[in-house]
Each structure stands twice: as structure tokens, then as C-alpha cells.
């Protein structure tokens, strides 16, 4: 699985989201993602993460994704944060 494939899967569930996925170990199994989506408005962080993880469930269950570090933001939260895409 590649970072681009993961981005595509997330965008199918959250159209219009800003998604950045990295493979920091270059092993195509351990990923880190930042997802900024208006669809997260009103959801707890756990529900935001569940939405993304549910989209990736088949890849996690199959072992194609071994680990996913996930940070999620609404657009308003992102604008207020000091975090930036790397």
C-alpha cells in the first residue's frame, strides 16, 4: 500500500478533505496521516478517527497497513492551529 493509495481511500469517504499521508519508515506498512475535513465538525476526535479508520479497515485487517498515526482537524481547528503540512 502506498501513501497515495491511502489518500485516495480517505478522499472517497471525505470528499474535499485535505489529506497528507507519509510513510516515515519507507516500509509501506507504517503510516502517518493528517486529515482536515469539514465533515469532522461536531464530531469528537474519537469519532473523527473512527471515520478514517473505518475507511481503511480492510487494509488494516489484511495487514497491508500495520500502523496508522492519525491527526484529524476540522477546517476551523486547522486554521487555529500552528501545525503545518511538512
Domain boundaries, the chain: 3-80
CA distances for 25 relative to 1, 22, 32, 52, angstroms: 13, 9, 10, 21
CA atoms lying within 13 Å on the CB side of residue 49: 8
Helix (H) and strand (E) counts for the chain? 4, 3
Please give the Cα distance from 18 to 54 (Å, whole number). 18
Report the pLDDT value the prediction gives residue 84, as an integer from 0 to 100. Answer: 66
pLDDT exceeds 70 at position 85: no
53-75 burial code (b ≥16 CB/10 A, e <16): eebbeebeeeeebeebebbbbbb
Q: Tell me the pTM.
A: 0.91
Report the pLDDT value the prediction gives residue 86, as an integer from 0 to 100. Answer: 58
Q: Write out pLDDT tens, residues 2-48.
A: 999 999 999 999 999 999 999 999 999 999 999 999 999 999 999 99
- Which CATH code, of 3.90.76.10, 3.10.129.10, 3.30.300.90, 3.30.200.20, is assigned to 3-80? 3.30.300.90
Amino acid at each position: 500500500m502506498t501513501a497515495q493509495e491511502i489518500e485516495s481511500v480517505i478522499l472517497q469517504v471525505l470528499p474535499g478533505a485535505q489529506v497528507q499521508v507519509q510513510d516515515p519508515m519507507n516500509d509501506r506498512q507504517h503510516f502517518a496521516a493528517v486529515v482536515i475535513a469539514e465533515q469532522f465538525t461536531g464530531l469528537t476526535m474519537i469519532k473523527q478517527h473512527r471515520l478514517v479508520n473505518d475507511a481503511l479497515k480492510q487494509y488494516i485487517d489484511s495487514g497491508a497497513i500495520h500502523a496508522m498515526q492519525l491527526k484529524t482537524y476540522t477546517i476551523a481547528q486547522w486554521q487555529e492551529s500552528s501545525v503545518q503540512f511538512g
